[in-house]
Amino acid sequence: MACTHLDDLRPVVPDSRRCEACVAIGADWVQLRMCLTCGRVGCCDASPNRHASRHASESGHPLVRSVEPGDSWRWCYLDEEYV
């Protein structure tokens, strides 16, 4: 089933170059993702704390994009697919 959450997106700007939640607890991360609803930057699911997906489940914001240099893919947590 095609993801319908893209329809409501507006341009957002990332809130940081780091995973601030990891920085606050002194943790490391593997890669960074940005919430496409509010711009919150968090760490990916390969990182120990998975702050991006935690943010998605707490806020209900379904879509993220990779903010790794050279990446442009997006992921929908609700539909569990690249969009």
Partner 1 sequence: MTAIEPSGVERIRVRRVARLREQLLDEGVPLPLDAPQSQVLLEELDYASHPPVHEDRAPRYGSLVSFGARPHWSALSVPTRLESAGTDLDVLRKLADGRASFVVRTADGTEALVCFDRSLEYEASAVRLCSETGAFVVQRTRDGLVRACGPDGVITWDTVQWSFKPLAEHHAAPILRLASQIDPEVLSGLLELSVHWLGAGRVGATLVLSLIDDPRALAHLELASAIEISPLHVTRHEHFPALLSVLGQMDRAALVAPDGSISTLGAGLEWSERASVLIRPTKGTRHTSARRFSFDEPSAVVIVVSEDGPTTVYSDGAAATVVRTDACRVAGAGAAAFTGPGIPDPAGEAEVVCPVCAKRLLVDEVRFDGWAGGPDEQRCPVCDTVVLIDAYRAAIRGVRKVLPEA
Q: Which of 11, 24, 26, 80 binds partner 1 (CB under 8 A)?
A: 11
* Closer of 8 and 68 to partner 1 (Cβ): 68
Q: In terms of Cα–Cα distance, which of 6, 57, 70, 79 is closest to 36?
A: 6
End-to-end CA distance of the chain: 11
CB neighbour class for 64 (10 Å; exposed up to 12, middle 13-18, buried from 19):
buried
Phi, psi values for residue 5, rounded to 5°: -75, -15
Is 73 one of the binding residues for partner 1 (CB under 8 A)?
yes
State in angstroms the smallest separation of the CB of 13 from partner 1. 4
Is 20 one of the binding residues for partner 1 (CB under 8 A)?
no
Q: Which of 67, 78, 79, 83 binds partner 1 (CB under 8 A)?
A: 67
Give the residues lining the site for partner 1 (CB under 8 A): 11, 13-14, 16-17, 30-32, 44-46, 66-73, 75, 82
